[in-house]
Amino acid sequence: MPRMTASRTANKSATPAKLKEAYRAVQDRIAEAALRSGRNADDVVMVAVTKYAAMDQVRQLADLGHMDFGESQAQQMQQRVPQLEEYLGRKKTLGNASSKDDSAPERARWHMIGHLQRNKVKHVVPLVNLIHSVDSLRLAEELHGYGAKNDLDIDVLLQVNVSGETTKSGVLAPAVVHLLEQIDSMMHLRCRGLMTMAPHHEDPKDCRPVFARLRELFEDCKTSEWTDDSFNILSMGMTNDYEVAVEEGANVVRVGRALFGDGGSA
């Protein structure tokens, strides 16, 4: 099972206390960045990206009351969603009798943040609350077909390749409004906003223009005739650059390594 190595080797030295400390630190930094941009900490949702985490760490984060989790691979999503659900279900049953200060949520919300292959749609959609990574008309059509067949409304974000680098996935910025128009006619697909991954920079400030550009595009989309009030999610910022992203208007950030370490090499 070579694909599982990242989680198997996840930071063995991590303790619940360390995770708690890292979690609080990330939350504080998000809150400060939100304040700098004239918003409240509550306006920003942090998705804890679990691809480098051990399952124990995922459970520990849920124990701290965290609800939003993200995975980038369909296969790992299929394993972790039921594992966490089972854990939370068990806790709920036991918790009534024993621990009184149990802050774990009853249910988690899962976010698909990585590239979604069309043949994985049927496996992933039933498990997740939001798909961040719609990057083509063909994927949108596949999702809509699944929604229609199962009478489900599916929430998605469009992943935008802001910088235009050919190595990055995502819709190019000039094509976004046209794709929104096409999605507008798909009754079982609801486009909730935009997502991007900034190119890697040593200095996170260098990501600022990419985030500012996505924010501008987001505002343009909001005023277009192809969106309504539910188009309100701007997902940008990862471990290296989430503070800058929040300053530039992100209301969802996706943070992995800052919480869980980077899979053992740290």
Ligand X SMILES: *Cc1c(COP(=O)(O)O)cnc(C)c1O
Q: Which residues bind ligand X (CB under 6 A)?
A: 49, 51, 72, 113-114, 197, 238-239, 254-258
Q: Which two tokens stand for residue 42?
A: 């509550």
Q: Which is nearer to ligand X, 186 or 248 (CB)?
A: 248
CB of 185 to ligand X, least distance (A): 27
Q: Angle 137-150/176-184 helices, nearest 10 degrees? A: 20
Which single residue brings its beta carbon nearest to ligand X?
256
Q: Which is nearer to ligand X, 163 or 239 (CB)?
A: 239
CB of 168 to ligand X, least distance (A): 11
CA–CA separation, 184 vs 198, rounded Å? 27
CB of 72 to ligand X, least distance (A): 4
Q: Which is nearer to ligand X, 3 or 100 (CB)?
A: 3
CB of 223 to ligand X, least distance (A): 27
Q: Which is nearer to ligand X, 91 or 248 (CB)?
A: 248
Q: Which is nearer to ligand X, 52 or 87 (CB)?
A: 52
CB of 52 to ligand X, least distance (A): 6
